[in-house]
């Protein structure tokens, strides 16, 4: 049975990934020393591929950590002295806030009802907040924040640092990295890779802030503090032995996606998202959780079935189409459908199977 995973992450592998892993094993990539010139070249090469694909400014840093959750923690430790403000549209926004609470920071939250979304242009951010934490796309609720609104927020609050979770939206989301201080993602979503690597893209200002906090005696951590990450980066190294294999594969996939064409990729994924949204909008029982089209995610689509989702999930699973369950308490009533680059060309098959097992006019 040829399985296609529409689960929101870990998800379907991008089609070139198994080949890149095989090549890496043949080349001996997992055995190269992380203190060698070969590794420095690999760091530079993957960094260049990401800069090219995501239009990362040349003075921004690219750091490798273990996961996106770790990225949240490091951003809090290194960029927040007392108070971070969190824009929450789902469970992952809370997860970001939890990392701040876990390290004793004051947290304030602006939260949208589940499945709504936030209009950043009318938000008032508390003056004592040093950093605004934004989940650009929340996988739990299928909502998304317009990248252009993040740029406008940055212009309204030029003195506050802005950290943006792009875990489940990059490289689809056209985020202006220059309007962020930290953007971060993990590789098992839009890049279609095995999990086990997180990436932090950090502005010079984010590094400076960490150095200020350190000078003030605030514990910013050791091996994955921003200054240590930056010092290692300058040598083409990481502070610890990193996931070298994943760093190799990430560079290769970033080049594949660039070769496919980012504009083409975005156009095609947007079209697929609209087709899935339309299926639910026209359904007699089903609906998209996010009613406001401006706040709907194009990369993780959350549908409500008006009944238990288990029979539909099971029926499609038996035929090789794996859908995601709802998040947390919505496990049995929602379905979640990922729409990542690995899913290009697979939406028609998904929708025709949905029509068989969850027909629009039941």
* Whole-number Å distance between alpha carbons of 209 and 200: 15
* Whole-number Å distance between alpha carbons of 237 and 298: 35
The nearest distance, CB 274 to its own copies, in angstroms, is 25
Nearest to 257 by CA among 105, 54, 109: 54
The nearest distance, CB 143 to its own copies, in angstroms, is 20
* Whole-number Å distance between alpha carbons of 184 and 202: 9
Q: For residue 253, how many C-alpha atoms fall within 13 Å in the half-sphere facing its CB?
A: 27
């951010």: which residue's tokens?
125
Q: Which is nearer to its own copies, 33 or 292 (CB)?
A: 33
The nearest distance, CB 51 to its own copies, in angstroms, is 23
The nearest distance, CB 227 to its own copies, in angstroms, is 10
Q: Which is nearer to its own copies, 69 or 143 (CB)?
A: 69
* Whole-number Å distance between alpha carbons of 270 and 264: 10
CB atoms within 10 A of CB 30: 12
Binding site for its own copies (CB under 8 A): 3, 5, 7, 9-13, 18, 21-22, 25, 28-34, 65-70, 72-73, 95, 98-99, 101-104, 186, 188, 193-197, 217, 219-225, 239-246, 322, 324
What tokens were used for 204? 């010079």
Q: Which is nearer to its own copies, 176 or 332 (CB)?
A: 332
What tokens were used for 45? 């090469």
- Residues 251-283: b if buried by 16+ CB within 10 A, e if exposed: bbbbbbbbeeebeebbebbeebbeebbebbeeb
Q: Which is nearer to its own copies, 30 or 204 (CB)?
A: 30
Phi, psi of 334, deg, nearest 5:
-105, 160
The nearest distance, CB 95 to its own copies, in angstroms, is 8
* Whole-number Å distance between alpha carbons of 10 and 351: 21
Q: Which is nearer to its own copies, 195 or 258 (CB)?
A: 195
The nearest distance, CB 146 to its own copies, in angstroms, is 26
The nearest distance, CB 317 to its own copies, in angstroms, is 11
The nearest distance, CB 215 to its own copies, in angstroms, is 14
17-27 vs 244-260: helix axis angle to the nearest 10? Answer: 130
Q: Which is nearer to its own copies, 103 or 359 (CB)?
A: 103
Q: Which is nearer to its own copies, 3 or 267 (CB)?
A: 3
Strand partners, 4: 321
Q: Which is nearer to its own copies, 8 or 147 (CB)?
A: 8
Q: Which is nearer to its own copies, 179 or 232 (CB)?
A: 232
* CB 21, CB 245: distance < 8 Å: yes
The nearest distance, CB 263 to its own copies, in angstroms, is 27
* Whole-number Å distance between alpha carbons of 194 and 147: 27
Phi, psi of 335, deg, nearest 5:
-125, 150
Q: Which is nearer to its own copies, 98 or 176 (CB)?
A: 98
What tokens were used for 197? 């690597």
The nearest distance, CB 250 to its own copies, in angstroms, is 12
């Amino acid at each position: 049975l040829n399985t296609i995973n529409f689960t929101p992450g870990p998800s379907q592998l991008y089609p070139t990934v198994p080949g890149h892993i095989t090549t890496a094993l043949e080349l001996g990539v997992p055995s190269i020393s992380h203190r060698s010139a070969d590794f420095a070249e690999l760091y530079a090469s993957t960094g260049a591929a990401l800069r090219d694909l995501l239009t990362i400014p040349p003075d921004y840093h690219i750091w490798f950590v273990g996961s996106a959750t770790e990225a949240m923690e490091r951003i809090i430790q290194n960029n927040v002295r007392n108070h971070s403000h969190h824009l929450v549209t789902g469970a992952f926004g809370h997860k970001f806030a939890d990392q701040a609470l876990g390290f004793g920071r004051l947290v304030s939250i602006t939260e949208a009802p589940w499945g709504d979304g936030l209009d950043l242009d009318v938000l008032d951010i508390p003056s004592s907040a040093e950093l605004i934490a934004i989940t650009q796309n929340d996988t739990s609720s299928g909502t998304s924040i317009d990248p252009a609104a993040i740029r406008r927020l940055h212009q309204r609050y030029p003195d506050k640092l802005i950290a943006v979770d792009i875990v489940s939206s990059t490289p689809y989301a056209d985020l202006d990295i220059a309007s962020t201080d930290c953007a971060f993602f993990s590789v098992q979503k839009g890049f279609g890779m095995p999990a086990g690597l997180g990436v932090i893209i950090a502005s010079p200002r984010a590094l400076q802030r960490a150095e200020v906090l350190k000078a003030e005696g605030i514990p910013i951590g050791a091996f994955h503090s921003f200054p240590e990450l930056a010092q290692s980066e300058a040598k083409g190294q990481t502070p610890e032995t990193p996931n070298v294999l994943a760093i190799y594969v990430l560079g290769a996939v970033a080049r594949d996606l660039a070769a496919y064409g980012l504009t083409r990729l975005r156009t095609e994924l947007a079209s697929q998202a609209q087709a899935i949204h339309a299926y639910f909008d026209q359904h007699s029982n089903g609906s998209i959780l996010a009613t406001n089209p401006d706040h709907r995610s194009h990369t993780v689509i959350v549908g409500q079935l008006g009944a238990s989702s288990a029979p539909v999930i099971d029926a499609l699973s038996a035929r090789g189409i794996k859908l995601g369950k709802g998040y947390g308490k919505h496990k049995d009533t929602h379905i979640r459908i990922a729409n990542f680059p690995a899913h290009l060309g697979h939406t028609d098959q998904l929708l025709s199977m949905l029509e068989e097992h969850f027909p629009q006019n039941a």
